Chain A
């Protein structure tokens, strides 16, 4: 079964700083890739997803992610974070015909 690794457990940034969150997965076959966000006290919501085509994916709220197949990576970025981006971010992977596995999550704190 595939596994998902998120490199940072907790990231603290000031407003307007740039963000990059790392995600690597172990599965070598065809995968679908996702980033979810969980705001405090809420459920997980989809930020963006990649299935095929352009490896640079744009999501909601100014987030982007780049799929690099050779590195098995799907890193999330945002050029300028806001206080309202404070949340936990989860990378997820599923096979074309499999279940969805999540990384451990990265908690982002944005200081005003």
Chain B
């Protein structure tokens, strides 16, 4: 398996633009997590899905952020409009959700909003 695949790897955008980050989880995994990593805040859980359903989105910073999982093999994290403080590395991770399993991380998307 290719692992968790995220795209793009790097994104530079201007303030106010819409940004869409994409994630393909490992086939057969039914939990998916979006994390944001910054120097100031470390690794924050934004939202996680189980069987394509959002279970906990309490970590989503504000209404400008939205996440979807239309099917088991694809998820998006959208920021609209983007702001410079959204600059961070965004990681997607997936897990089989059987008992006693860890999360497997993608390579991350480094977002820079100028």
Chain A residue with Cβ nearest B44: A102
Q: Is B112 close to A, CB under 8 A?
A: no
A49–B42 CB distance below 8 A? no
Q: How many residues of A contact B (CB 8 A)?
A: 21
B100, A51: Cβ atoms under 8 Å? Answer: yes
Chain B neighbourhood of A34, CB < 8 A = 102
Contact indicator B91/A102 (Cβ below 8 Å): no
A residues 46-100 with Cβ under 8 Å of B?
A: 46, 49, 51-52, 90, 92, 96, 99-100
CB distance from A55 to the nearest CB of B (A): 15
Question: Which B-chain residue is minimally distant from A105 (CB atoms)?
Answer: B42
Q: Which residues of A contact B (CB under 8 A)?
A: 32, 34, 36, 42-46, 49, 51-52, 90, 92, 96, 99-105
21 chain-A/chain-B pairs, Cβ below 8 angstroms? A32-B100, A44-B43, A44-B91, A44-B93, A44-B105, A46-B102, A49-B102, A51-B99, A51-B100, A52-B100, A96-B99, A99-B33, A99-B55, A99-B56, A100-B48, A100-B93, A100-B95, A100-B103, A103-B42, A105-B42, A105-B43
